[in-house]
Each structure stands twice: as C-alpha cells, then as structure tokens.
C-alpha cells in the first residue's frame, strides 16, 4: 500500500495547483523518513526561489550538491526521486487526505513535545502545553490570503449588508453610541478616577451579558475574586451589597438557583496578583478553560488595564510609562482579535482629571498611547450634584463605531448599593451639553473683524 507521504511528494512534483494549495501548510518535521524529508526540502527551496515546480532532473542535481549526505543516502534519494511518477488521483480526496495527514502529524508531534516538557527535557514551561496542543488541533488548509479589492467585490457588498455580531448593553445610550453594542475583536476602555465606578461599570455590564445567556470571563488584578463576585451578587440578586452577608444560606441558595434558570451563560472570575499577569497569561487561561471546562467566553473584562503586566517589557525596566501602557493595550487588543471577542477594561484619570467635571483624552493617566489603541473610550464622571441625583455622567472620548459628537455626553442612573446602572428619564438628558443637538452658531459674532488696528506700516 502506498504511503500518504509518497503520494504527497508525487503530486507536489506533477500537480502545480495542488502544490500551491498545500505547500504553505506542510512542514519538514511532518516527514518521518529522512530521504522524503530531504526531497521535500529541495522541492520547497526551488519553489520559493524560482516560483516554479522542479523537474525530477533538477531535484537530482540539487540533491547532488548537498554536503550533508553520504553516498548511500545519495543513492536512496535518487531512487526515491526517480520513482515519483505522475498518477491520476481524485483532487478533493487528495486535499482532504493531505490535510488530515498534516493534522495527525501535528498532533503527534505536539504530544511528543508536551511529554518532553512534562519530563523536564524541554526548557519550555508546562504552561505552554495547552497552547501547543491547541495549535496542533487547529491545523487546517486555509487558502484565504487577503481581500482582492477588484475580484472580491461581491463578498465586500455582502459584508456591508451583513448584521455584525455584537454584545448589546442593557443601557439605551450606550447602545446608541455603539450602534447596537460592542463588536468582537475590539478593546473598549472606561476612564474614571478612583472610586467613581470603573469596577461597578464592568460588574454591571458583566451581569447584563450573563443574563443574555452569554459566557463571561472577568479577570481581576485589583480586587479578590470574592469581592468581584459579591458586587455581581448585589447586582443580579437585587440585594444591597452590605446586606449580602446577612442573607440566610437557604435564601442565598434559592436566589442563585433561580438566577441559574434564567440564563444559559457562565461567568468565570479569575484573580491574578497586581502587575503580575499579561496577555500571555490570559491566553494560557483561555486555552486551559477551553480544554478543561469547554468554556469559550463571549466577552472578557479586565479590571484593570494599567495594573496588567506586558509580555514584551518588564515592569522594572527603564521603559517609559507611555510605551509600557501602550504595549499592554496593544497586547490586549491583539488577544481580542486572536480569540474573536470584545475586551472591556478601564484606566485611571490623571491627578488633574480626578476632580474634573469635563474629562478629556489628555487626562488619561500614564500613557496617551492607550486611547490611540482603544476602539471605544469614554469617561465616567461623578460630581457632588450628580451623586445627589443618583447619576453618573458619561462622556465619549473616542469612538470607532459611530460619530463621537452624537450623544457626546449623557447620564445614566447609578445605584451603588446594588452595584447597578440604569437608564435615566429622557428629561435628565435635556440640559446636557453635546447630547446630540448642534450648538447654535452666531456667524456674525464668530466672523473675524476687518481691522488694521495695531498693524505697523
């Protein structure tokens, strides 16, 4: 019976269409036989250099040039090349068989590597094992290498009319400014001072997304897992946070059981020590959750961005805060793209922005590189007057989903006892500047005056 490897080598030499499709996905190490591996190397080298398929004669000449083979190996290689004759094979079957062979070999090699890591024969950390296996399981022939502007116009037109999958808010104005919610592969940042409500906002949105029947991952680097869970309990169980500890166990259990009946979603809360975890750790966590619990989040909350670590820079290095925080933001956005989820996080205001009732992008603490990376950024502003009204002001700072001048400022209700946000009456939005209405413009007043006063001849 002819081995798959031999069949692959034959068709690489005699079927250019097949070669173009499969060559990017086949690796040298997939071949067990050393002669087959060398022939594949020579085919690959020739195609990369001359963008054409080598003949058997060319292969023999190139093999003869090698200095890493002896006389016996040379004879075996020439015999192998001479036996690579053209045969007719059903193309779809051949592609499927080649893809399965690649995947099987990748999984086998990944298992061997994992065993070496577990035995201590490999310098890699055991934390790398889930991602190694995940990459092997994901091996497939993907021929998409980019969007051809002129040829792919139909796909582009369809994409314009396709409804994008988004995570909706349960707050009217947040849905308005994002055109129906936040899409996948995005980084969304809340900017606020200490104690204003960054964690409250994220806990509320996490609670509302869970009630939509979606999976939520909440990563905390600031508070303990139990404190985050307590805030979400207050929101979802409709109990003031200070009264949760006084709930009888039977009543608490009953409330949680009733809540479980309302949603098919899962909420996982994971705590890391402050400034100790970066996007690489989060990726390992996601792979581990996928393997151990078959859990794939629909949205990720990270509380909060500035106290994450960077996988590219050490926190105690001489790197400046602009570069460091920007690197964290870029790594988190890259994580969102890789796992096809939206990420929601927060950042602190500067000292000058802490007491301000009109926070700007420049009030972002430590790094202006953060707003450059975020897809959506908004400030949460609290004043004594707003606190008295039970409201918090939201101001858009950056928005890639919609025109940020539309509903630039709006208020939402806040119930700090139950860690909850809610829509205000429409009348509460009327007196807010930049709420979507154009400001009046006095042309005569703004028009520059025609005067030569102060002009020296």
C-alpha to C-alpha distance for 203 and 197, rounded to whole angstroms = 10
pTM of the model: 0.66
pLDDT in tens, 139-162: 777 656 677 888 888 888 887 887
Structural tokens at position 206? 């996490």
Q: How far is CA 226 from CA 204, 345, 453, in A?
A: 16, 19, 70
pLDDT for 253: 94
pLDDT value for 37:
92
Partners of 379 in beta bridges:
191, 395
CATH topology of domain 166-430: Rossmann fold (3.40.50)
The residues of the chain scoring below 50 in pLDDT are 1, 353, 434-457
Taking the C-alpha atoms of residue 212 and residue 208, their distance in angstroms, rounded to an integer, is 7
**Domain limits of the chain?**
4-137, 166-430
Instruction: Measure Cα distances from 115 to 31, 62, 122, 123 in Å.
Output: 20, 37, 9, 12
Q: Judge: domain 4-137, CATH 3.40.1160.10.
A: no
Q: What is the pLDDT of residue 195?
A: 84
pLDDT value of residue 445: 43
CA 408 to chain centre: 27
φ/ψ (deg, to 5) at 304: -140, 175
Which stretches within 23-90 are classed as H helix?
A: 34-50, 56-65, 71-82
Backbone torsions φ then ψ of 394, nearest 5 degrees: -115, 130
Instruction: With both helix axes pointing from N to C terminus, report the angle between 279-293 and 321-339 in degrees, rounded to the nearest 10.
Output: 20
Tokens of 116: 């070496």
Name the phi and psi angles at 314, rounded to 5.
Answer: -85, 145
Spatial CB neighbours of 222, under 8 Å, sequence gap ≥ 6? 199, 274, 303, 304, 307
Q: Render pLDDT for 290-326 as a digit per residue (tens, 0 to 9).
A: 888 899 999 999 988 988 988 877 755 667 777 888 8
pLDDT of residue 297: 95
Dist CA 89 CA 205 (whole Å)? 55
With contact defined as beta carbons under 8 Å apart, do 193 and 412 qualify?
Answer: no
For 161, the token pair is: 């009319």
Residue 418 to residues 42, 110, 172, 237, Cα–Cα distance (Å): 68, 48, 19, 9
**What SS3 state is found at 413?**
strand
């Amino acid at each position: 019976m002819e081995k798959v490897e031999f069949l692959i080598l034959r068709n690489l030499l005699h079927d250019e269409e097949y070669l173009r499709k499969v060559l990017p996905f086949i690796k040298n190490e997939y071949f067990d036989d050393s002669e087959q591996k060398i022939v594949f190397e020579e085919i690959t080298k020739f195609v990369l250099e001359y963008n054409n398929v080598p003949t058997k004669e060319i292969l023999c000449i190139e093999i003869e040039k090698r200095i890493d083979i002896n006389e016996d190996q040379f004879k075996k290689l020439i015999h192998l090349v001479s036996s690579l004759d053209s045969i007719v094979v059903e193309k779809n079957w051949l592609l499927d068989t080649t893809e399965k062979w690649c995947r099987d070999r990748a999984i086998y090699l990944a298992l061997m590597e994992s065993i070496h890591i577990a035995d201590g024969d490999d310098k890699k950390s055991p934390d790398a094992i889930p991602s190694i296996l995940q990459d092997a399981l994901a091996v497939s022939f993907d021929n998409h290498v980019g969007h051809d502007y002129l040829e792919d116009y139909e796909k582009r037109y369809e994409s314009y009319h396709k409804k994008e999958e988004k995570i909706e808010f349960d707050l009217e104005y947040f849905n308005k400014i994002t055109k129906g919610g936040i899409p996948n592969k995005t980084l969304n940042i809340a900017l606020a001072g200490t104690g204003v409500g960054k964690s409250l906002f994220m806990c509320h949105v996490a609670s509302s997304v869970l009630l939509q029947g979606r999976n939520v991952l909440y990563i905390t680097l600031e508070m303990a897992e139990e404190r985050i869970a307590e805030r979400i309990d207050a929101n979802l169980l409709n109990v003031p946070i200070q009264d949760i500890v006084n709930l009888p166990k039977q009543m608490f259990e009953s409330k949680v059981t009733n809540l479980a009946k309302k949603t098919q979603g899962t909420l996982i809360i994971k705590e890391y020590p402050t400034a100790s975890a970066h996007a690489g750790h989060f990726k390992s966590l996601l792979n581990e959750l996928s393997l151990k619990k078959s859990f794939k989040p629909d949205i990720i909350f990270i509380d909060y961005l500035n106290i994450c670590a960077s996988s590219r820079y050490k926190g105690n290095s001489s790197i400046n805060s602009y570069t460091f925080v920007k690197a964290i933001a870029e790594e988190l956005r890259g994580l969102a793209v890789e796992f096809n989820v939206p990420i929601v996080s927060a950042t602190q205001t500067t000292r000058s922005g802490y007491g301000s009732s009109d926070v700007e992008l420049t009030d972002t603490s430590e790094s202006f590189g953060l707003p450059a990376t975020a897809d959506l950024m908004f400030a949460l502003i609290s004043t004594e007057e707003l606190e008295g009204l039970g409201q918090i002001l939201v101001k858009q700072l950056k928005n890639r989903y919609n025109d940020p001048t539309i509903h630039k400022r709006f208020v939402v209700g806040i119930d700090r006892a139950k860690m909850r946000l809610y829509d205000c009456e429409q009348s509460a939005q009327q007196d807010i500047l930049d709420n979507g209405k154009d400001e009046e413009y006095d042309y005569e007043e703004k028009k520059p005056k025609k005067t030569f006063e102060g002009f020296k001849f």
